[in-house]
Structure 1
């Protein structure tokens, strides 16, 4: 955007619909009331099942990979914050419709609705990282497993700060150009990071199914979870692209001048995300992936091995540390 785009500056280029803002504020409140207790309670029940597997198989000689309750539920905390940001955004928007010249509510709705999806993406990044760890398939990540989640979350946080700063500046006519440019930059950072992450997800989905991985072969949940993460990624990506086009078009553009774009390409997709998560929690959640992973790891015929993505030859050395239960330790050596 250029300064010429902001002649006859107004906070809104249309008359905002109070009914629509109130409707989505109520809908996000409802899904928040449903999703938080469901995820917490299901997480607690899942950990009891995982503990039963661990307690029944204390004689295994290798390290079992799993997460505690706080680590798994903690992955969803940014998601809860994202829903909270949506609620705050539409409440502020509803208030703003009563006085369209008042800056405070406008800044509140602008910032909250811009940054809410970045909280969603943080949860998606963490769920993917935990899933790869539980499947013992970290080598299929584009970054080293130790830094993969951190890499994407840092990009997400950087995008969040750019959009938040830009959203605040856009309420002032003297800084509206700077604010718009910051928001656009933040959206492109989000799109770039997210696009890279989605490529990794697609590669992970197709590559892991072809490898000799006993956990992935025995788990029915990880593919469903990965597909759901991809669907949610597409929803966020479409939303971010439309918002980026909005700011590129400028203050007099078609998107920023018509309110329905906000609800169709922002409110609806961002509401569908938590609905999808809570609808399929019993058949495609990280909790279920962990249950299946630990059950397989504690089985007597489980053979821990590293994922070999290059189809190199693998030398396996057996150790008879516990012949009574036929448990083997493997030492994997990759030969180029």
Structure 2
């Protein structure tokens, strides 16, 4: 089978090889910048989730570039999985951030679903579930016979992800509305910056998930699936913008190793909160 025929069989269009080069370079650059920031800020180690995610995205475009130049089944599978799954880890970083704020503050709501331990495990489990569904479905879609079943599983994973994103945004706005929850030294400015980063990146991930849902619902060979510009506009650029937000308004300075959140505004005598045990 000719190279061009193989390309069209997998992509349903003839992809350009210049775009993966640019995307790969930008994501690897974001990886380096994030690592340097975390080291200089002496940020907590869990924030390395972000550069690892950026690196995984960069690898996705390495596989896309290789697949464009020499389209094979193996390269197509690797490209699909590395471009589909890494953004889930970005969501995990956001979940961890809000969980840290809640755990290190004096306030603890009476409602169990707003308590730090539940928030940490609930959203962590949701992320693992979403990754498992999307990974399984993405792998199945590389087989012609299982493509339809794989598409449905990926769609289910993306819809589950959107639901948990909505729940997480509600939790984040709750944390933002309560003075008992503080960040770093307890200044309002620090809290606004952290919440801006969390909300902005979560909204971008939400938009990317909506695009992916439309893409998979449209089906193999559909107008959205076959539009290369749509992939770069609503996946590549959207996720890159999220990394730019993380770099421009970093989380690291507010989560320094060895320093806990100093809650100066919370009062254990408040009627709407309980002090930690």
TM-score past 0.5 threshold: yes
2: CA distance, partners of 1:36 / 1:22: 21
Q: How many residues align?
A: 268
In the other structure, the counterpart of 1:281 is: 250
Q: Which runs of 5+ in 2 are unaligned?
A: 1-7
Distance 1:180 1:214, change over 3 A: closer
In the other structure, the counterpart of 1:305 is: 268
Does the residue aligned with 1:14 lie in a helix, a strand or coil?
coil
In the other structure, the counterpart of 1:12 is: 11
Q: Rg larger in 1 or in 2?
A: 1
**TM-score scaled by length of structure 2:** 0.86
> What is the CA distance between 1:308 and its match in structure 2?
4.0
Among 27, 51, 57, the residue aligned to 1:80:
51
Q: Do residues 203 (structure 1) and 174 (structure 2) align?
A: yes
In the other structure, the counterpart of 1:69 is: none
Cα deviation 1:119-171 (Å, max 9, x = unaligned)? 00000000111112233334288433222111101110111011111111111
Among 272, 287, 312, the residue aligned to 2:241:
272
Q: Do residues 119 (structure 1) and 89 (structure 2) align?
A: yes
Q: Report matched runs for 1:163-178 at 5 Å.
A: 163-178=134-149
Distance 1:111 1:136, change over 3 A: same
Distance 1:81 1:173, change over 3 A: same
Runs of at least 4 residues off by over 4 Å: 211-219, 288-292
In the other structure, the counterpart of 2:101 is: 131
2: CA distance, partners of 1:11 / 1:214: 47
In the other structure, the counterpart of 1:258 is: 227
2: CA distance, partners of 1:190 / 1:270: 16
> What is the CA distance between 1:99 and its match in structure 2?
2.2
Q: Which runs of 5+ in 1 are unaligned?
A: 1-8, 45-71, 315-330
In the other structure, the counterpart of 1:108 is: 78
2: CA distance, partners of 1:118 / 1:184: 14
**TM-score scaled by length of structure 1:** 0.72
2: CA distance, partners of 1:205 / 1:128: 10
1: CA distance, partners of 2:141 / 2:11: 11
